[in-house]
A and B are shown apart, each in its own frame.
Chain A
Amino acid sequence: MAPSSIIQLNDVSFSYAGEKDARALDHVSLDIAPGEFVGVLGPSGAGKSTLAAALSGAIPHHFRGQLFGAVIVDGQDTCDVTLTDVSRVVGSVNQDIDAQMVASVVEDELLFGLENFGVPHGEIESRLTTSLEAVGIPELREREIATLSGGQKQKVAIAAMLALRPRVLVLDEPTAALDPASTTMVFETLRALNEREGITVVVIEQKVATLSEYCGRILVLDQGRLAFDGTPREVFSHGAELRAMGVDSPRVARVSNSLAQHGLIAPGEPCLTVAEAKRLVAGLVGGVASASPRGEKNPVPEPSSRPRAAQGEPVVSFRSVGFTYPSTGAEVRDLTFDVYPGEVVGVIGQNGAGKTTLTKLLNGILHPDSGEVRVAGLDTRETPTSRLAAHVSTLFQNPDRQICKDTVLDEVAFGLELTGVEGREARRRASTVIEHFGLPAGEAPFSLSRGQRQMVALASVVVMEPDVVLLDEPTSGLDYRECMTVMETVAEMAERGCAVAMVCHDMEVVSDFAERVIVMARGEIVGRGTAAEVFSDAALMARAGVEPPQVVALSAALAEDVSPAFAGIAQVSGIVDLVEEMVRRD
């Protein structure tokens, strides 16, 4: 083997025990050199987690199945050494943070590995302090892990690995449950470790914009095969192929790819940052725009295709709602807003801003301490939560918390039966919806994949035909294709007059689907307006700790320096159409 690579996969295939015909990895070969920062992308079920397990030695030592080919870590075949020996080289951080903590206090969490690997006791103190400092959390040393936020826990997990001085870090979706600010924090930490300590980083991630910013190399897996392997620019120049397999591209890459498709620029490597895209567009239209500063293009975003029923009765109304958690003292104050039938309202803000509390006040799990919440004309304080359920349906972030029946059919019909729909009728309606989603009606929900379980949960929401749909992080843990299925279903429901309120960290999704946005920070509503208005308000975004979507940032930058016509454009196609119009005009 080449001495230059720290990890080498030679024609590796793997199938899990009991699934002989389906290969989770299919003839994968790759070399990773020391010091690389590698991102792994792919749709659900493409074999990303299997790849991580193979790199960290969990395959073949923990998961049963058939392995072909060889995984060579630091010159040794992982089949020939124990899992513990592989772990001396490769530190791995998994998706479920709670499940990899072995102690209840941060310090003990770090000590566990150090003690086990027999690090000399004289050296332990310095290892403890340096690894806590490396991830920027020396002040958390004595804290109980249970009291930390998700981002902090993730850093503890990384510090616990660092203390062991691994040469490779393998992370499986480390930021799936984190807000954008914490995601950036984790990736900054990884970058610092990669650059300063020369640690090789392999990270599986769905957030394409983040990956393209931090990684030097991106691997794309599809159905167990390595579909693409190259720099972010090389990989994202295949935008159309990626999309066909269910992988998103950063929006600015979509802008430049789309410009190339329209024949406005030569096809080639796409832009990866807002600044690059701005330079590209400015170069294309620069002369035109300065020669004829046009004001005729309407900067107001196109009116929604849906009837805005602002003059009608709101189906959800919050009036000066306040609530304080008795145990922690966390609170929300003075929430006042309405949601009308047929509209999609996004609620954004950082973790801890009070978004989840707002959803629980809406579906009646919490009752306001002050003020009033009315849903479909019912006061939530006077109506039992179980009766409100006929009017409000919630799609939870984690489908496993709501699934409790033995078959998909029973599961989908369950909600209807609870609200008093007669059994046979409930099953008939459930079957229709299940057919629409193409789900296996007779199977046990827990035997399905994570993405399909989310679809079962979604089907149970759709079948209710509720007045209000409440979405709590509807897209987390889903790949691009599943995410679009969920959101398009929700948009169809809105089309039919259902009011939708969604809490979401993915600003691209909010920008694409929400007509109105409510911005929360520290328990209060700090801003509201149309998606375009809110995202282009830089001061508001900073105050809420939210990064605006790339396209909005791009159009704001272009509006300022190139042409005011770009103001308020929120879609890739909008920017491309405008550029085309401006260029063709000459």
Chain B
Amino acid sequence: MDQNVLGNLWYVVGFAFAGTLFVFGTIALAWLLSHRTRGDEHKGYPYESGIDTFGDSHARFGIPFYIYALMFVAFDIEVVFIFLWALIFQDLLLGGFVSMLIFVAILMLGLAYAWRKGVLSWR
């Protein structure tokens, strides 16, 4: 096992741990320094331009958000393949070019379909 890879994993884990520690340390420091007031019942209400809240605050939102996320998943997977392809492209040359062109062209059909159906235009 390459020790370098595991060492880098320790770095990632360590950075995540130290970063979390830093954030919570600072929040704890702020908690010690800051003042706190109880206020009245209105203090804990969700902010809505100064009036009391009405309706459910988890309001229903439009489906376009979901479509963007879905298309993102498809293109994100494409990105992983393209990264690997680009890494060895200097050895693949024409054959690799054609195979990636087909791959992207098929995926582009999806984008064209979405474009045609008008889901790319925000409403």
Q: Do A and B bind each other?
A: no
Where the two chains meet, the residues of B that have a C-beta atom closer than 8 Å to any C-beta of A are none
